[in-house]
Chains A and B, each alone.
Chain A
Amino acid sequence: MLKVIGAAKSFGNRTIFSNFTLKVEPGEFKVLVGPSGCGKSTLFDGLTGVVGLDRGKITWKGKDLTHLRGHAAYMQQKDLLLPWFTLMENSLLPAITGGKKQDRTLAGQRAGRLFHSMGLQGFENHYPAQVSGGMRQRCALVRTLMFERELILLDEPLSALDAITRGELHSLLLLLQSEFNQTILMITHDIEEALILGDTICLLSSCPMDVIEEFTPKSPKPRAFETPELLDIRVRVLERLRTLNSLDLICDPKDPKMADNRGMKINGI
């Protein structure tokens, strides 16, 4: 459904990724895991049109696109709620903007139901400053669903939250897939989170970023992290990361020479 083929982006002589390819199937929950600074966010910037890709193709449902504006909903680490609107008004923003506006009453009812399933009922008329970080992020989740798009891009959506709140929100993210039939592409640096949520987990290398291994856990969702299969995958992921590290894979992104050295070492494997 979503295909990124041969994407390339560099800033000056610093290559972020040179031939990145990714495929997301309809209804899939795909998670990209990688060390911080590996270029995950740049990829998302390319997908959302914040930066242009140097090369490569983005296809959505067979159509070539320059970016996914108008096709994907987006949620990131910051809740990005506007302090001058209530939680309800914030979640209705996608419904009242854009070329084809959604019907106001229908959108309101839909948002009301979403507030209920996200456990936010009763807080519709609160302002963001009056509620907790977890509730703000849940409201951001409602707003993301109010985009009414089939694809959702999640950019480390939970990394600013504490462990307990994050656990609660994991189940809500799973709801996106099971209840609302969304196709999800998420990036994170939290391996546990990736294993609990993802249908497919892509392990990324840095400088240039590439998918070095894919994992597809068979355990049914919702998953507990203590499942032997997940623990086993985690061991493999960590091992993989360690070998990468020993090959000096964590490079200084500001130093293009380092990146070149590393490239040689990879070729030498």
Chain B
Amino acid sequence: MGSDRFKTNAIAMGIALCFMIIWEMGVKIMDVPVFILPPPSDIALTALVKAPVIWPHALTTLAEILLGICLALVTAVPLAIFMFANPGLERGLTPFLVASQAVPVFALAPLLVVWLGYGMASKVFIAWIIIFFPITVTLLSGLKSCDQEFRVLFSLMGATFFQKLHLLYWPWALPEFFSGLRVGVTVATIGAIIGEWVGAQKGLGYLMIQSNARLQTDLVFAAIVWLTAMGLGLWILVGYIEKKIVRWR
């Protein structure tokens, strides 16, 4: 087990390192100007040295993402349970759920900024729309995947719907719910950034637009590095919480 884990880590590190080296060498050999594509060493240095500049922006973006996740949780979980309890409604609601994903949120982003303002609200809203879907869909499919035999057993006990939900369906659905949440938190960063590009006063997306306009390409990339780290961190955090809660897997 331990050596397997070491191996996967080594492979991941190796691939990342090769990519960096090719990038670094390529930029140096072909003499690419820094404002077109800075070498990874420059980006790393900027990400560290400019940390005091990037930090407040990162905090804003993180807050937007976390608020979006919270909003998605308090809406998606009840909706999934509601749809599970009423299969007729599930069939009726599914088209709308899918439609909410088919509508290009990115195209709507400018409108949302007009409606909800330049502040955090519009970004939280976009993040919410994006995360909401995977959580609802995975939780619903998790709830529905419960074995018939267990349902019969609980019916024979005379369990009410909420007793079944609490003792049987909900724990049963947790692994799928977490896989949905993990997808959700990683794509949530995209939602927040799109919102910030369109119009914001703060945030990593805002910083990227500003730096791009000033040809500070290294800062653009530094912001991307921070953003990636944030997405990765959230992914790991969800995985950690899952491990703590879903101990029987």
Q: A residues touching B (Cβ–Cβ < 8 Å)?
A: 48-50, 68-70, 72-74, 76, 78, 80, 82-85, 93-94, 96-99, 127, 129, 147
3 nearest A-B residue pairs (beta carbon): A98-B158, A97-B159, A83-B248
CA separation between A127 and B248, bound complex, in Å? Answer: 8
Docked-complex contact B248 and A97, CB < 8 angstroms: no
Which residue of chain B has its CB nearest to the CB of A50?
Answer: B152
List the one stretch of B53-61, B163-171, B227-235 in contact with chain A. B163-171
B201 at interface, CB cutoff 8 A: no
A80 touches B149 (CB 8 A): yes
Q: What's the count of A-B pairs with C-beta under 8 Å?
A: 56
Q: State whether A129 touches B248 (Cβ < 8 A).
A: yes
Question: Do residues A97 and B171 form an inter-chain contact, with CB atoms below 8 A?
Answer: no
Q: What residues of chain B lie closer than 8 Å to A99, measured between beta carbons?
A: 158, 160
Residue pairs across A and B with Cβ atoms less than 8 A apart, 14 shown, are A48-B156, A69-B155, A76-B149, A80-B149, A80-B153, A85-B167, A93-B154, A97-B159, A97-B163, A97-B164, A98-B158, A98-B163, A99-B158, A147-B157
The secondary structure that dominates the A interface is: loop
Contact A73 B248 (CB under 8 A): no
For A74, the chain B residues whose CB sits under 8 A away are: 152-153, 156
Residue on B nearest A95 in the bound complex, by CB: B157
What residues of chain A lie closer than 8 Å to B240, measured between beta carbons? none
A108 to chain B, nearest CB (A): 17
Interface size class of B (residues with CB under 8 A): 10 to 19
B47 to chain A, nearest CB (A): 42
Which residues in B have some Cβ–Cβ distance to A below 8 Å? Answer: 148-150, 152-160, 163-164, 167-168, 171, 247-248
Q: Is the CB of A69 within 8 A of B158?
A: yes
CB pair B248 A72 closer than 8 Å: no
Of the residues A50, A78, A97, A127, contact of B160 by C-beta under 8 Å = A97
CB distance from B142 to the nearest CB of A (A): 14
Smallest CB-CB separation from A129: which chain B residue? B248
B interface majority secondary structure: helix
Does B149 lie within 8 Å of A69, measured CB to CB? no
B153 contact set on A, CB distance < 8 A: 74, 80
Q: How far apart are A121's CB and chain B's nearest CB, in angstroms?
A: 23
In the complex the two chains form, what is the Cα distance from A162 to B126 in whole Å?
Answer: 57
- For A100, the closest partner residue in chain B by CB is B158
Q: Find the B residue at minimum CB distance from A147.
A: B157
Q: Contacts A83-B248, A127-B248, A129-B248 given; indicate if A98 touches B159 (C-beta within 8 A).
A: yes
Q: Which residues of A contact B167 (CB under 8 A)?
A: 82, 85, 93, 96-97
**In the complex, chain B residues whose CB is within 8 Å of the CB of A70:** 156, 158
Chain B residues with CB below 8 A from A49, complex form: 155
Nearest CB of chain B from residue A166's CB, rounded to whole Å: 21
Q: 13 additional contacts, CB 8 Å, given A50-B152, A70-B158, A96-B163?
A: A48-B152, A68-B156, A73-B156, A74-B153, A76-B149, A78-B149, A82-B168, A82-B171, A97-B154, A97-B157, A97-B158, A97-B164, A98-B160
Q: Which residue of A lies closest to B170 (CB)?
A: A84
Contacts of A129 in B (CB 8 A): 248
Residues of A within 8 A of B154 (CB): 93, 97
A263-B167 Cα distance, complex, nearest whole Å? 47
A98 touches B157 (CB 8 A): yes
Are A84 and B248 in contact (CB-based, < 8 A)? yes
State A218–B111 Cα separation when bound (angstroms).
86
- B7 CB to nearest A CB, Å: 27
- Cα distance A94–B85 when bound, in Å? 22
Tell me which residues across on chain B come within 8 A of A76, comparing CB atoms: 149
